[in-house]
Copies of this chain bind each other. A is one copy, B any other.
Amino acid sequence: MAEEGKIVTAAMLVIGNEILSGRTQDANMHYIAGRLNELGVRLAEARVVRDVTEEIVAAVNALRARYDYVFTSGGIGPTHDDITADAIASAFGLHIDIRDDARALLEAHYEPGQLTAARLRMARIPDGASLIDNPISTAPGFRVENVFVMAGVPAIFRAMFESCRHDIAGGAPLLSRTISSELPEGRLAEPLGLLQERYADVDMGSYPFYRGQRFGTSIVMRCTDAARLDSAVAELKASIVELGGSPHEGDPPA
Contacts and interface: CB of A to CB of B under 8 A. Distances in A.
Interface of A: 16-27, 29-31, 33-34, 36-37, 42-51, 55, 77-82, 114, 116-119, 121, 153, 155, 176, 185-190, 192-193, 196, 203-208, 210, 220, 222
A240 to B, nearest CB: 14
Number of copies: 2
B55 A50 contact: no
Mostly, the A contact residues are mixed
Given A47-B45, A47-B46, A190 B20 contact: no
B206 A81 contact: yes
Nearest to A219: B79
B22 A206 contact: no
A46 B82 CA distance: 19
A26 B48 CA distance: 13
Contact of A19 (B33, B79, B118, B196): B33
